[in-house]
Amino acid sequence: MEIMVDFPGGARVDAHLDSFTIHTDQPPQDGGEGSAPTPFAIFLASIATCVGIYVLKFCRQRGLNTDGLHVIQRTHNNTVTGMGQRVELEIELPKDFPDKYRSAILNAAELCTVKKHLQNPPTFEIMTK
């Protein structure tokens, strides 16, 4: 996959992939306008949405109700480094969710490819052209 990044002005940085554009900005206190999420917020959202697609797929494959189904992500940072130390992902299940599927939906959430990449990170090579 190739992603091209450009700089449309201010602290905005946009990523273009296929026919999509992902807009980012910085908050005003960091020199931006707050017109879009920060790149790091999008990174964190990619974890929750990835888990979400696996949870949704699990329910749809079994014809289960998804009304009230949510994934809530909480990130806890190291107090010294400020870096993410623990990510909690809580799956709020619909009231009528069958007990027999509770452990299975957790297994489905574990399949998230974003989470798997964090657990076994790629190497990075940064260069100029």
Domain contains 129: no
pLDDT tens for each residue of the chain, 129 residues long: 999 999 999 999 999 999 999 999 999 999 999 999 999 999 999 999 999 999 999 999 999 999 999 999 999 999 999 999 999 999 999 999 999 999 999 999 999 999 999 999 999 999 999
CB atoms within 10 A of CB 27: 14
**Number of domains the chain contains:** 2
- Specify if 101 maps to a domain: yes
pLDDT for res 86: 95
Question: Is residue 125 in a domain?
Answer: no
Containing structural domain, residue 69:
38-119
Give 54's contacts (C-beta < 8 A, 6+ positions apart).
108, 109, 111, 112
| CA distance between the termini of the chain | 19
pTM (two decimals): 0.90
pLDDT at 35: 98
Does 94 fall in a domain?
yes
The answer on 99 and 70 residing in a single domain is yes
Does residue 75 sit in the same domain as residue 25? no
Which H helix or E strand runs over 86? strand 84-92
DSSP element (H, E) containing 121? none
What CATH number has the domain bearing residue 103? 3.30.300.20
Whether 111 is in a domain gets the answer: yes
Distance CA 30, CA 27 (A): 5
